[in-house]
Every structure is written in structure tokens, then in C-alpha cells.
Amino acid sequence: MDWEKDLQLGANYLNNYLLDITKDGVSIKMHHWDADKKIHFDAMNQHEYYRVTYIFNGKGTYQEGKIADDISNGSLILTPPNTSYRLSSPKGLDVMSISFSLLSTSHSYIQKIFNSVKTEQLYILPDRNRSAAILLWISLLKLAANDNTIYLKNNLESIGITLFWSILKDFEKEILSRNSKQVPSSASTLIYQAKVYIIDNLAEPITIKDIADQLHISERHLSRLFNQELGQPFTTYIRKERIRKAGILLSDSDIAIKDIALQTGFSSVHYFTNVFSKEMDMPPGKFRERFRHQNLIT
């Protein structure tokens, strides 16, 4: 799918005409509809409401607190209230987002789902570009951009509540499975702890044995968790995390490139430059020049 300017026009329209939804036993306050092209490096944000973000085009990183993960075309992200988060991308992201509060509901099913959302976990669904929720969302924005009739205004609530149900359905399994008490030591918790260890030790050589020993699990089990939970091998995740941190230091500090290489665990400037250039499509010096002081991540 290609980005269309109608998406931004539709979001502006909905900000005027669809901010309150009370229908079918659900009351929702829509704080904002957004559709933005080529977002680069947002500052850390925090809101008192839920935010759902869809990555229309681009690749980057989504961060909550100390934990971050890769995002790309089709990623659908749920950010809980009062959570510090950031979207970042060297080349920019085309995104759609909605910010809302659930004011009340007569459905115990909906309340259960929202009660199960945990702020210490990342809720990122990949490859949602063909999901019913996303297709409906895009259609609503396009319709809002091109139809100014009373008929549309009179039916916006019905379309809005259908979109809400569709997005909720997408996240339902992910949210409830993470809150299941049948798993004594959840995969998400172990991966969270592994990520924290990696972030705190990036300057040092990190082996899968080091982390497995910290978590009191086998190397084989930890390797399997990285593939299952993050969709990538342990070594790939380590490399990307080192490059992510290097990008932060390059854009937001005056530290010499050779020192950045050491702080991010590379054995030499030459090796660092080769890996960084392959991952980011430009050498460290050019990256620093292009993204100087854009506050990637603090």
C-alpha cells in the first residue's frame, strides 16, 4: 500500500467530528487521530491514555523505558497509559495512530482485556497490513477525507466502535496470553530480563551463556526464546542493539567514533564501521553529520 495525503486529511476531519464514542455498551474518549508522513526521531512521550500506532511504511525502533524492539511496515503497537515511549527511525516512518481512553463499558470481556495490559511489556503485532482492523482504519480515513455529507457524520460513531472492536480483537490473544497464570515463568518476562542485561552490558562482550546463567535457564532454551519471541537469533539482536546505541551516541553526543565503538562493544573502529555501514546504509561519520542533535533516544 502507498501513502496517500487523504490519510492526513481524514485524520483532521475525525479530530473535529469523532472524539466521543458511546455505543453498544462502550464509552470511549478519542483524544487524537493522527496520520503523519516521515516521522524521524520523536522525543520520549508519555500520556494518560492508550495509544495505538500502525507503521504504514518504514523501519525503525519502538522503545518503552529501557526496552526496545524493531518495527517495520505492518507493525501495530499498543502503548498503555502513563508509559514513556518513543518511535525512532533514521529514514523516517509513515504512521497512523489513535489516542483514546476507555471511560466505561458494560462488557466484562472488554474490561478483562484492558485490566490485563501490563506496562512493563511491549505489545507489538507484526505484519498487520492486511488485517481487518487496518483495512477499516485506512478506509475510514479516506472516507472522512472525501465525504462531507450529513450521512457520514451521522454514522461515524458506528464506524468508530467497529474499528475499536477490530483493533481490540487483534490484540486480544497477545494481551490475555501474557497474563496467563498457567506459565510459571513467562517467555516475555525472561526476554525482558535478557534485554535489560544486554542494555546494561553493551560495552562488554556478551555471550548467550552469560545471560542464560543470569536467568538460570539453558542456553538452548534462551536461544529458542529469542527466535520465538523476537523473531531473530540472539546474535542478530545483540548486533542491532549495539548499532542502535551507537546511533544514539553519534547523533546526540560529541564522543569520538573510536570511543563509541568501544562503548558499544566493538573490538575495533574498522569492524564497527563495517557493521554500522551495512546495517544503516551509511558510515558512522555520515550518519552523525545527517542526524546531529536530533535526540534519538535519551
Asked if residue 139 is part of any domain, the answer here is yes
Averaged pLDDT for residues 20-46 = 88
End residue of a domain, out of 178, 199, 216: 178
Asked if residue 150 is part of any domain, the answer here is yes
Query: Is the pLDDT score of 119 beyond 90?
Result: no
CATH of the domain at 195: 1.10.10.60
The pLDDT value given to residue 167: 95
Q: How confident is the model at residue 184 (pLDDT cuts 50, 70, 90)?
A: very low
* 113 shares a domain with 51: yes
Asked if residue 1 is part of any domain, the answer here is no
* 147 shares a domain with 25: yes
Stronger pLDDT, 39 or 262, i.e. the higher one: 262
End residue of a domain, out of 142, 159, 178: 178
Burial status of residue 260 (CB atoms within 10 A of its CB: 0-12, 13-18, 19 or more): buried
Residue 263's H or E segment, with its range, is: helix 257-263
Query: Is the pLDDT score of 129 beyond 50?
Result: yes
Reading the block at residue 286, the C-alpha cell is: 555520515
Averaged pLDDT for residues 257-262 = 94
Look at the chain and report how many structural domains it folds into: 2
Mean pLDDT of all residues belonging to the chain: 88
Q: Are strands 26-41 and 85-105 parallel, antiparallel or unpaired?
A: antiparallel
* 227 shares a domain with 157: no
SS3 letters for 163-211? HHHHHHHHHHHHHHHHCCCCCCCCHHHHHHHHHHHHHHCCCCCCCHHHH
> What dihedral angle (degrees, nearest 10) is formed by the CA atoms of 197, 123, 143, 147?
-90
* 209 shares a domain with 165: no
* 194 shares a domain with 265: yes
Burial status of residue 135 (CB atoms within 10 A of its CB: 0-12, 13-18, 19 or more): middle
Residues of the chain above pLDDT 90, percent: 53
CATH of the domain at 75: 2.60.120.10
Residue range of the domain that includes 163: 6-178
Q: How confident is the model at residue 182 (pLDDT cuts 50, 70, 90)?
A: very low
Other beta carbons less than 10 A from residue 63's beta carbon: 21
Asked if residue 123 is part of any domain, the answer here is yes
* 196 shares a domain with 62: no
* 113 shares a domain with 12: yes
What interhelical angle do 150-178 and 132-146 show, nearest 10? 160
3-state helix, strand, coil in the chain (%, to 5): 50, 20, 30
Asked if residue 174 is part of any domain, the answer here is yes
The pLDDT value given to residue 142: 93
End residue of a domain, out of 178, 207, 230: 178
Asked if residue 220 is part of any domain, the answer here is yes
* 20 shares a domain with 167: yes
Do residues 76 and 128 make contact, with C-beta atoms less than 8 angstroms apart? yes
